[in-house]
Amino acid sequence: MAFTAKILERSAPIVQVLDQVWQGFNIMATNNKCVKMSKKIGTHNGVFHCDEVLACFMLKKLPIYKDADIIRTRDITVLDTCDIVVDVGAVYDPKKCRFDHHQRGFEETLSSVRPDLVKNKFIKLSSAGLVYAHYGLEILSEICKSKEINLDTSSLTCLYSYIYDIFVEELDAIDNGVSMYPEGSPLYRINTNLSARVSRLNPKWNEPEKYSNIDELFYKAMNVVGTEFEECVLEAATVWWPAREIVRKSVTKRNEVHSSGEIFLLDERCPWKDHIYSVEEEFGIEGKMKFVIFHDAGGTWRVQGIPVQPDSFVCRVFLHRNWRGVRDDQLTELSGIKGSIFCHSTGFIGGNETKEGAIEMAVTSLNASAADKE
């Protein structure tokens, strides 16, 4: 026993050294594993544009790329080491996480990439649109969850289409040089003017050592674009979407307002023009709704004609021709409807003291002759 104890005592330093060596190997293995797990987002260097700036920002909202490094280069051998590449490389292959749009033959649109989510979108995608097409639902979900806003799949799908319309589409169009007016009506709208603002963040042509801080400026652009994108998404989730739900529920109850099913009553006053056309399309009743009734801020009720298009002053049906420009007692006497307050000179909107009176103004106008409601 004494002999064994002496051997163990003499072996202790050796065991300690071996243990330290083993721990060192463990640390090295762990560090190597961390290096291998580090993600890299590749994009081109030099002058930056709004599309790849937004693409990189959106990718970093995804958990898998949250801590990724952004590698700005045109060196293909370096890009080949990246986990995902946007706006450079002349390859669009989602299976390989390659998202460029500059190559000959590329004509993808949001509707061609995601026909399951969106239809009738014909603007060619930029790198921003490609990333949004493939990862947009998850990106929107992550942004909303960061503010404890949880949306179901149906809500996210609706938000996906809306955010593309008001934010991403213009970036796609501008980066691809798509004419806004090939014919009479615009193919897209400029809502943010971000492309121009990002362009101005690039170094000026006559600045000394003009590319020395370009990466820093790229990240500044990411902050500008990302802040606006997140604000847009959160406003859509907390302001635009609740209004759509109010309009949708009101339209489902249209037959309770009047048997024609052409008048809907807003349960709560909210912006409705952004929603009525898509809600009609959802229910397969395009062009059906003629009037909306809503409670105004002053405590009275309004009746308003539905425009033929969102930005049009022409209504599907106007309030009765004889009432236009008439007010108060004179309007009440002329219309035979108690509580009448006014009818706009164009007939697109009128007011009544009561909900019932506003509905009656709509019904009477619906039943008027064609000449009197035009």
Q: What string of H, E and C letters represents the secondary structure of 262-289?
A: CEEECCCCCCCHHHHHHHHHHHCCCCCC
How do residues 330-357 score in pLDDT, each as one tens digit? 999 999 999 999 999 999 999 999 999 9
**pLDDT band at 19, cuts 50/70/90?**
low
pLDDT of residue 21: 45
| Ramachandran angles phi, psi of 125, nearest 5° | -80, 145
Beta bridge partners of residue 327, listed in sequence order: 342
pLDDT of residue 148: 96
Q: How far apart are CA 369 and CA 204, in angstroms?
A: 65
In eight-state DSSP terms, residue 124 is B
| Nearest residue to 342 (alpha-carbon basis) of 356, 355, 358 | 358
How many C-beta atoms lie closer than 10 Å to residue 353's C-beta? 15
pLDDT of residue 210: 63
Evaluate if residue 28 carries a pLDDT over 50.
no
pLDDT of residue 16: 61
Which H/E stretch holds residue 76? helix 76-79
| Nearest residue to 126 (alpha-carbon basis) of 113, 115, 116, 117 | 113
**pLDDT band at 37, cuts 50/70/90?**
low
Q: How far apart are CA 143 and CA 150, in angstroms?
A: 10
| Mean pLDDT estimate for the chain | 92
Q: How far is CA 37 from CA 40, 67, 70, 188, 195, in A?
A: 10, 10, 15, 41, 33
Which has the minimum average pLDDT: 12-16, 251-255, 350-354? Answer: 12-16
pLDDT of residue 3: 47
Whether the CA torsion 65, 93, 123, 243 is positive or negative: it is: negative
pTM: 0.84
Q: How far apart are CA 141 and CA 156, in angstroms?
A: 7
| Ramachandran angles phi, psi of 326, nearest 5° | -105, 150
How do residues 262-311 score in pLDDT, each as one tens digit? 999 998 999 999 999 999 999 999 999 999 999 999 999 999 999 999 88
Evaluate if residue 129 carries a pLDDT over 80.
yes
| Rg of the chain taking only CA atoms, in angstroms | 30
Q: Which residues contact 360 (CB under 8 A, 6 or more apart)?
A: 337, 352
How do residues 137-193 score in pLDDT, each as one tens digit? 999 999 999 999 999 999 999 999 999 999 999 999 999 999 999 888 899 999 999
Q: Which residues contact 136 (CB under 8 A, 6 or more apart)?
A: 58, 160, 163, 164
Q: How far apart are CA 294 and CA 52, in angstroms?
A: 44
